[in-house]
Amino acid sequence: MIINERVKGLAEQNERVVKQHFAFFGQGNLPDALELFAEDVDFQSPVTKNPPEEISWAKPRYSKKDVALFFKELSEKIQVKKMEAMFFTCQNDRVIVEGRNGGVVKATGRGYEHDWVMVFTLQDEKICRARHYYDTADIVAAFRD
């Protein structure tokens, strides 16, 4: 029973960290959102082996500094209009989040919206692995005139 309580407590703690990450991001507070990542994080958004050229930010990142560059490159090309984290599922060191976001491609003024799933792995209250799964087709279409 004590082990179950400990596992439940770990899952709840990890969920709080991920929810805080989304809260910081939603407030436009990127520095504090980045502080919740481990120094040597394994980060992929979107997870794809063949990224479309329009989505130049789609490459693996392996440090907190790389993740900051991801957000910089993304924000140079996309204006995020909404980011909704709707459902959280937590077990041990993993937090799975289902959500939806939408934005506008700055070069074309065209909008997009899509559903996504993110899987976070945490260690010592830091995000050490992040995977962001979404269909890139809607964003690619918004890049085209």
Q: Binning pLDDT at 50, 70 and 90, where does residue 34 land? A: very high
Beta strands in the chain (DSSP E): 37-44, 78-91, 94-105, 111-123, 126-133
Q: Binning pLDDT at 50, 70 and 90, where does residue 138 land? A: very high
CB proximity list for 134: less than 8 A, separation 6 or greater = 46, 114, 115, 116, 117
Residues spanned by the domain of 121: 2-143
Q: What is the mean pLDDT of residues 57-74?
A: 95
Q: Binning pLDDT at 50, 70 and 90, where does residue 10 land? A: confident
24: number of Cβ within 10 Å: 17
Q: What is the mean pLDDT of residues 70-93?
A: 94
Residue 54 belongs to a domain with what CATH number? 3.10.450.50
Global confidence as pTM: 0.91
The count of structural domains within the chain is 1
